């Protein structure tokens, strides 16, 4: 198979605005050049819109790692956990290819295959590239992407370009070695384990070099950062500016996940995670400089399906063995399904152009609203929601700002629960939201939510999310609820 040669000429063109302030927040991809938009419009991890329609999967072929991060514990394996680095079943490249083809035949919306661990894909180059090589031939319609800590990225950039991998995610938590020394206890570099500040300095240098080399080859780079309160929270604004200036096109700031049960340094040492409000404040402050991603679900290294739903259990190795698949037909079917989705999205975009913004709108403060939905419509019962999407409604429209999990990260064994009811946890998770929109809601949670200052609303079932959010905001505005600034609410 001929792989297109990626050269300087095909590097992404700069969009019209170079001031860096054009990250139009209600249309995340609005300011991107057409060629980049083409590359990301069906990639659920790169496009907020796409993640409602298209699915992805990760194959866990890369167990080895060349660094230690304080938020990671290499011993972990739990089927009930959903967070990066966790997997249940390590696979050989041949098994990974088989699984990918089986999933792609069963879930025709699947557009992307990523390798994200459980270690670092580029610390396992043979296993990672063997998987990519075979899939490029057997499923050329599936996009390949990789996520890396960046330490050995420079030495593998040419190989990545050769395999037509046009999406790479680098986790960059800092550009200052003094900050890095508080995040990375060691790296393995030039046959030596190196500790502390020296280790962080080498890692940062390789990450930045790798980022520049990828951009020079026209490969799209997303930067992931873990927000660690008191460690890199202020620093991440600088990180965002620098990676944007070097050509990364999307920045994904994720909250630290740290529980003592996970056995990580941060978990055991009592480092706290950021609140949703802290995360949003940082994302908002970076937004002026950088296109921010807010729909990340921090998925497992063996996740399967749409973001936020994991269908991995349907595709264990023994189940795949039983499947009878016609690969050619599956690829044709995928093409049909994708064309259908694209047509739907095009129609939606065309309709959006006809919406007239509220003229001479009276002032009213922005309001956060939680939405129970799978896909673009409000279609989930409050009690069934495992996560809520959060929108900020204001006179300039509805803007997606993130999601909140409705259950704790682990609902498995007895080490997880701490005696609080699920509803109490949900109310905590929805902190800052003034309304929750869902298809239906029971009498009891209704009262509890209201008492906590969150207005339940089931009147917009099966309506498009943005329309419903704006309708509720306008009602609140008309009722005079948005004149005064939001008072800090007491906990119910």
Partner 1 sequence: MALEIVESCVNCFACQPLCPNDAIFEAKPHFLIDADKCTECLGDYADAQCASICPIEGAIVDELNVALNPPGSLTGIPPQRWATAQAEIRARGSATGGETL
Positions that interact with partner 1 (CB under 8 A): 63-66, 68, 70, 74-75, 90, 119, 123-124, 126-127, 185-186, 188, 191-193, 260-261, 265, 267-269, 411, 414-415, 417-419, 422
**Beta strands per DSSP E along 267-425:** 304-305, 367-371, 387-394, 397-405
Grouping H, G, I as helix, E, B as strand and the rest as coil, residue 161 is: helix
Contact 410, 331 (CB under 8 A): no
Nearest to 147 by CA among 134, 160, 162, 130: 160
In the bound state with partner 1, the residue whose beta carbon lies nearer, of 12 and 150, is: 150
Strands (E), 232-300: 250-255
**Counting beta carbons within 10 angstroms of the beta carbon of residue 324, is it exposed (0 to 12), middle (13 to 18) or buried (19 or more)?**
exposed
Residue nearer to partner 1 on the CB measure, 357 or 419: 419
For residue 187, the cross-strand partners are 67, 194
Q: How far is the CB of 91 from partner 1 (least distance, A)?
A: 12
Going by C-alpha positions, the residue among 259, 279, 278, 254 that lies closest to residue 269 is: 259
Specify the residue, 97 or 123, whose C-beta has the smaller distance to partner 1.
123
Q: Name the minimum Å distance from CB 99 to partner 1.
A: 19
Q: What is the CA radius of gyration of the chain?
A: 22
Kindly state the smallest distance separating residue 265's Cβ from partner 1, in Å: 5
Instruction: Select 147 or 439, whichever has its Cβ closest to partner 1.
Output: 147
Nearer to partner 1, 115 or 296 (CB): 115
Rounded distance between C-alpha atoms, residue 226 and residue 163, angstroms: 28
HSE-CB for 175 with a 13 A CA cutoff: 15
Nearest residue to 217 (alpha-carbon basis) of 144, 261, 179, 164: 164
Q: Residue with structure tokens 């079932």?
A: 461
Q: Compare residues 193 and 329 and give the one whose CB is closer to partner 1.
A: 193
Q: Which is nearer to partner 1, 234 or 415 (CB)?
A: 415
What CA–CA distance (Å, rounded) separates 210 from 208? Answer: 5
Question: Which residue number, 151 or 482, has a Cβ lying nearer to partner 1?
Answer: 151
d(CA 23, CA 30) in angstroms, rounded, equals: 8
**Which residues in 195-215 are b (16+ Cβ under 10 Å) and which e?**
eebebbbbbbebbbebbebbb
E strands in 318-406: 367-371, 387-394, 397-405
Cβ 74 to partner 1, closest distance in Å? 4
CA nearest to 293, candidates 50, 81, 15: 50
Closest to partner 1 by CB, 20 or 417? 417
């Amino acid at each position: 198979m001929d792989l297109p040669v990626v050269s300087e000429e095909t590097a992404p063109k700069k969009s019209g605005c170079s001031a860096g302030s054009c990250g139009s927040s209600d249309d995340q991809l609005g300011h991107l050049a057409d060629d980049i938009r083409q590359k990301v419009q069906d990639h659920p991890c790169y496009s907020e819109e796409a993640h409602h329609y298209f699915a992805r999967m990760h194959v866990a072929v890369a167990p080895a790692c060349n660094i230690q991060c304080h938020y990671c514990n290499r011993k972990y394996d739990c089927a009930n956990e959903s967070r990066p680095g966790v997997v249940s079943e390590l696979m050989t490249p041949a098994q990974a290819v088989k699984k990918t083809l089986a999933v792609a035949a069963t879930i025709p919306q699947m557009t992307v295959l990523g390798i994200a661990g459980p270690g670092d894909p580029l610390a396992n180059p043979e296993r990672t590239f063997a998987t990519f090589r075979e899939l490029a031939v057997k499923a050329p319609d599936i996009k390949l992407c990789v996520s890396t800590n960046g330490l050995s990225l420079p030495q593998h950039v040419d190989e990545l370009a050769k395999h037509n991998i046009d999406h790479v995610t680098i986790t960059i938590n800092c550009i200052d070695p003094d900050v890095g020394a508080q995040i990375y206890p060691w790296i393995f570099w030039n046959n030596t384990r190196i500790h502390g500040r020296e280790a962080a300095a080498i890692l940062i240098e390789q990450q930045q070099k790798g980022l520049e080399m990828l951009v020079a080859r026209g490969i799209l780079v997303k930067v992931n950062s873990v927000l660690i309160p008191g460690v890199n929270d202020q620093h991440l604004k600088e990180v965002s500016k620098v990676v944007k200036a070097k050509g990364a096109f999307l920045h994904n700031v994720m909250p630290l996940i740290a529980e003592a049960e996970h056995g990580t340094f941060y978990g055991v040492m009592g480092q706290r995670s950021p609140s949703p409000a802290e995360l949003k404040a940082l994302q908002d402050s970076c937004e002026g400089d950088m296109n921010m991603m807010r729909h990340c679900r921090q998925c497992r290294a063996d996740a399967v399906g749409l973001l936020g739903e994991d269908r991995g259990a349907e595709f264990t190795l023994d189940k795949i063995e039983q499947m009878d698949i016609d690969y050619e037909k599956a690829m044709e079917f995928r093409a049909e399904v994708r064309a259908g989705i694209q047509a739907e999205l095009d129609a939606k975009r065309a309709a959006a152009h006809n919406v007239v913004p509220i003229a001479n709108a009276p002032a009213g403060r922005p309001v956060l609203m939680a939405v129970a939905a799978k896909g673009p419509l409000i279609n989930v019962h409050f009690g069934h929601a495992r996560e809520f999407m959060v929108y900020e409604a204001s006179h300039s429209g509805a803007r997606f700002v993130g999601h909140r999990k409705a259950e704790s990260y682990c609902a498995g064994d007895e080490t997880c629960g701490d005696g609080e009811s699920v509803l109490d946890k949900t109310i905590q998770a929805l902190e800052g939201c003034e309304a929750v929109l869902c298809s239906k809601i029971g009498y009891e949670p209704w009262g509890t939510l209201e008492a906590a200052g969150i207005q339940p609303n089931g009147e917009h079932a099966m309506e498009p999310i943005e329309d419903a959010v704006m309708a509720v905001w306008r009602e609140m505005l008309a009722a005079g609820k948005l004149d005064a600034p939001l008072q800090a609410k007491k906990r119910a």
